[in-house]
Amino acid sequence: MAYTVTLKRGEERRILRGHSWVYANEAEKITGEGTNGSLADVVTHDGRFVGRGYINHLSKILVRIFIRDKDVWDTEELFMERLTRANAFRRDMGFDNSYRVCFSDSDFLPSLVVDKYGDVLSVEILSLGFRLKRDVIVNCLKKIFSPAAIYERSDSPVLKKEGIPPFTGLIYGEMPEKVVIEENGLKIAVDIPGGQKTGYYLDQKFNRYAIRRHAAGKRVLDCFSNTGGFSLNAATVADKVKAVDISGHALATLRENAALNGLNNISTVEADVFEYLREAKKRGEKYDMIILDPPAFCKSAAEVPGAVRGYRDINAAALKLLSPGGTLVTASCSHYMTPVLFEKTLGEAANGAGVDLKIVEKRMQSPDHPALVGFPETEYLKFYICKI
């Protein structure tokens, strides 16, 4: 007999609206037998079927529901159907060379991320149940894509909360010496084994292109530049671009990307961005556009107050370096930093810098990272283009 998780009275409401996580403190009782990573049925207080998913007693997320039909099970056919449908969704929107194939809960495969970089797939698996299905997932991806290689990048700190060790490495095929993708008409070298997340931040694709209409002929400062997604797009139209990042390895890749595209108007600075902005103010530096795309300042609700201070301070510091009429491009990739809170923080930053700020564009993550209605965690990226 498999596990059955009976919810406390009323706890099913959020799940029935589309959320797929069942937290341990929402369970009234667990009956039956099984092992961590096995399927468990989730039922209401009075026994009505809610869904089915993999259970993990070591995690605060007790069950990740991905089956809503009582007659459906976790067969290879199910995985094949879900992944095929997810890929078709992206292809119908015109995605081809590089894109997110599967976005976890938004594609009804919670904790599974698949990114396509040319003919190489990068996979991230962040739960025990789906790790146990790795061979099934790989088989499906081979059938759908016939890739040259599949590389796994399951090295997130979240895995500690799942009680499973991280894993990175080649799980199928042979990795090419270099992976170069095309994005917005640019060539981008992607370091899948050593880059951020699965290799490259695909979620900012259209936001990177959007800054071009504000960067023509401008002096641009790209903070937290990583491997240069924003710098390269700005450099196609800007006068000069300066990219600042704390990672020398990322900046080396940025310079490689600039050379790939024949862009010679980008300079790089290896530095802590907070310190650089403070020193730039002392030196009297001025820019026409400043881009702030920092890593998440908060990954839990408890970290929000500190994140607010961080976002407020760094945006204020950037605003002080902008010329009159200058453009601030600023982002937050933390779900816990809501749009309302982020805008309030931007207002405080503008007040602290002594400027008036107009929001001219509000954007979110690229549509190959769709947000699932009823699951607010899937809508995480806030992206604002503002003018002094």
Q: So which residues are the catalytic ones? A: 333
Whether the Cβ atoms of residue 102 and residue 66 lie closer than 8 Å to each other? no
Whether the Cβ atoms of residue 97 and residue 179 lie closer than 8 Å to each other? no
Cβ burial of 358 (10 Å; 0-12, 13-18, 19+) is exposed
Whether the Cβ atoms of residue 106 and residue 371 lie closer than 8 Å to each other? yes
Q: Which residues pair with 361 in a beta bridge?
A: 385
Give Cβ neighbours of residue 91 (< 8 Å, ≥ 6 apart).
none
Quickly tell me which residue has 């301070």 as its tokens: 313
CA separation (Å) from 2 to 16, 39, 47, 50?
Answer: 22, 7, 15, 15
CA separation (Å) from 74 to 67, 68, 217, 322?
Answer: 8, 11, 55, 54
Residue from 71, 74, 147, 143 nearest 112 by CA: 74
Residue by residue, DSSP assigns 67-128 as: E-STT----HHHHHHHHHHHHHHHHHTT--SEEEEEEGGGGT-TTEEEEEETTEEEEEE-SH
Task: Tell me the three state secondary structure of residue 195.
Answer: coil
Give Cβ neighbours of residue 204 (< 8 Å, ≥ 6 apart).
229, 230, 293, 331, 365, 366, 381, 383
Query: How, if at all, do strands 358-363 and 382-387 pair?
Result: antiparallel
CA atoms of 267 and 368, how far apart (whole Å) = 31
DSSP code of residue 140 = H
